[in-house]
Chain A
Amino acid sequence: MRGIARGMRRRPPKYSAAALAWKGLRGDPWPRVWRDTELKRSYDAVVVGGGVHGLATAYYLARNHGITDVAVLDKAYLGSGASGRNTAIVRANYLTPEGVAFYDRSLQLYNSMATDLNINVMFSERGHLTLAHSDAALRTMNWRAEVNKLQGVDSSVVGPDEIKEVAPSLDTSDHPRYPIQGALYHPPGGIVRHDAVVWGYARAADHMGVEMHQKTEVLDILCEGGDGPEGRGAGGRVTGVRTNRGDISTPFVVNCTAGWASLISAMAGVRLPITTHPLQAAVTEPVKVFLPTVVVSGSLHVYISQTDRGELVFGAAVDPVATYSIRGSLDFTEELAGHVLELMPSVSRMRLLRQWSGLCDMTPDYSPVMGFTPVDGFLVDVGWGTYGFKAAPVSGEQMAAAVATGNTPELIAPFALSRFDTGELVGEKGAAAVGH
C-alpha cells in the first residue's frame, strides 16, 4: 500500500453522475486522462506493449507492490492492437483445471473492475452458450461442464429446448445441415467494453505514477552475459531497452506484445513456441436487442454477441496461414455469413457494417506462455492466441507479482515457457471458442 501513498501525487477526477452533471452545467472541460511525459533514462521496470495486458501489469505493479517507476511503451497508441480488436467476450468455462482456475480469477477481477478503476466498463454478465452439433462436441461439453463444476465455476450442459428458452432466435430445429444437439451453458460469461478496460487501467496506473509512452517503438533489448551474440540469450540478463526515442536502462522488461511477441523476444535472444495468425471479425448495423446471450459454435467457426448499441459482433477462427498482414478477405465474409444464417436464419436481411482483423500469437497447446525466461529480467506474457482479452486482469496481477517477488506465482506456474522443455503442455484446444 506504500505505493499508493507515494504515487498519489494528484487526485484523480472522480467519474460519477454528480461530476457529470456539475461539469455539464458549468461547461468545464474534463482534464487529460493520462499525462504525456518526457521519456526518462531509467526505470525500475519497462513494459513493452500498451495493450490491456501491459497496462494491467503496470497497474498491478503500482497498486499491489508499490513499484511505480514503470514505463509502458507502445509503438502506436494505447489499445491499438488486439486490445481494441477482440470481440470483448469473457468467460471461465475452460477445459483444463489450470485454465479454469486462471480464467475464473480473471472473471472475478472483471466483476469488481468498474469500482476498482472508477470507470464504467459496461460488464454485462449475460451468459454464454457453446453449441454442440455432434456427439463428439457434446462429449467435450460434458467434460468441460464437469471440470468447471469441480472448480466451482457455474457451467452445465443444456438441451435444444432450454437453448430455445435462453436464445429464441437460434434455429434449434432439425432443418439445418448441422442441427444443434445441445450446449454448454455458462451463466457467468458475458461481454465487456474493451476500450474502457484499456482506458481504465491506463488512467488508474497514471494516477499512481506509471508513465505511458505512445509512439515509442522498442528497437532492441540490451543484454549482457548471455551465450548469444551481444550478450543476448540464455544465462544473460537485461540491462535496458533501445527505443526510437533513446536508450532506457532497466533491470526488468516485460513483453506483452501479443502478435509481435516473437519479434520482441528475439531481441533478447529468446525463441518462443509462437506463430502469428490474423483473426477476422465483423460487425453489423445496429438493431433492437434480441440476442440475450453470447452464442458460440465451434463446428461452424463463429461466435456472436449483441452489443448494448444493438450491433451483432461476429468473430471467427484464426486464418490458417501465419502472417503479420491484417488485410480482410471476402471468403471470410462469405463463410461467416453462411454460418451465421445457419444458426439464425432471421438475420438474413441485416447488413455488415465493417470487418477487421487483429493478430493472435498462437501456441501449440492453446495456452499462454507466462513468466520468466532463460534471460534474467526478461519476462513474457504472450501466447494468448484468441484468449487474451478475457485473461487480461489476472495476467496483469500475476505478472506484476512475478516481477515484484522474483518468484512464479502458483496460478501461472503451469504456463511457464519451460513446459515445452519438459513436455508438460496444457492442452486447451478443446475449450477454444471455435475449431482452428
Chain B
Amino acid sequence: MLLVPCPNCGPRNSADLRYGGESHARPDPATASPLQWRGYLYLRDNPAGWLRETWYCRSGCRRWFTLERNTATNEFRDPPQPGDKRGSKA
C-alpha cells in the first residue's frame, strides 16, 4: 500500500486514487508532427528515480494533480499543501 499525499484530502491509500502516469506537456494539435504525437501518446521515460506524475483523487476531492515520487523508493517529494494551487490541473 502506498500513502499518497493528496493536496486537498491529505494522505490517502493509493486505492482511493487513480494513477495517471507520467506527466508530460501535451503538444499543440495544430502544429505537432505525427512523431511528436507518437511520443506524447506512447513513449515514456520510465525512470528509476524521481518522476513527475498525475493522480486523480477519485473517492476524495475528485481533482487531478501532479506529484513528484521516487519510483525506486516510493517516497513523495515536496507534496503540494492544502490550498496550494501549484500542480492542480482542475
- Complex interface: chain B residues within 8 A of A176 (CB): none
Q: Mark A17-44, 1 if CB is under 8 A from B, else 0.
A: 0000000000000000000000000000
- Complex interface: chain A residues within 8 A of B48 (CB): 260, 263, 276, 324
- Complex interface: chain A residues within 8 A of B44 (CB): 262, 271-275
Q: Check A321/B38 contact, CB under 8 A, given A266-B45, A331-B1.
A: no
Q: Is the CB of A324 within 8 A of B72?
A: yes
Chain A min CB distance to B25 (Å)? 15
Q: Is the CB of B46 within 8 A of A274?
A: yes
Interface centre among B2, B35, B41 (most CB of A within 10 A): B2
With CB as the reference atom, state the residue of chain B lying closest to A263: B48
The answer, yes or no, to whether B81 is at the interface (CB within 8 Å) is no
Give the bracket for the number of chain A residues in contact with chain B. 20 to 34
Q: Is the CB of A325 within 8 A of B72?
A: yes
| One of B13, B22, B35, B73 near A421 (C-beta < 8 A) | B35
Interface centre among B42, B45, B71 (most CB of A within 10 A): B42
The answer, yes or no, to whether B23 is at the interface (CB within 8 Å) is no
Q: Mark A58-98, 1 if CB is under 8 A from B, else 0.
A: 00000000000000000000000000000000000000000
Q: Mark A323-362, 1 if CB is under 8 A from B, else 0.
A: 1110101110000000000000000000000000000000
The answer, yes or no, to whether B88 is at the interface (CB within 8 Å) is no
Interface residues, chain B, CB within 8 Å of chain A?
1-2, 13-15, 19, 21-22, 34-35, 38-39, 41-48, 51, 53, 71-74
Interface residues, chain A, CB within 8 Å of chain B?
260, 262-263, 266, 271-276, 320-325, 327, 329-331, 364, 420-421
Beyond the given pairs A276-B46, A327-B74, 18 more chain A to chain B contacts, judged by CB atoms under 8 angstroms and listed by A's residue number, are A262-B44, A272-B44, A273-B42, A274-B44, A274-B46, A275-B21, A275-B46, A321-B2, A322-B21, A322-B22, A322-B71, A324-B48, A325-B71, A325-B72, A325-B74, A331-B1, A331-B13, A420-B38
Identify the 3 closest CB pairs spanning chains A and B, nearest first. Answer: A262-B46, A273-B42, A271-B43
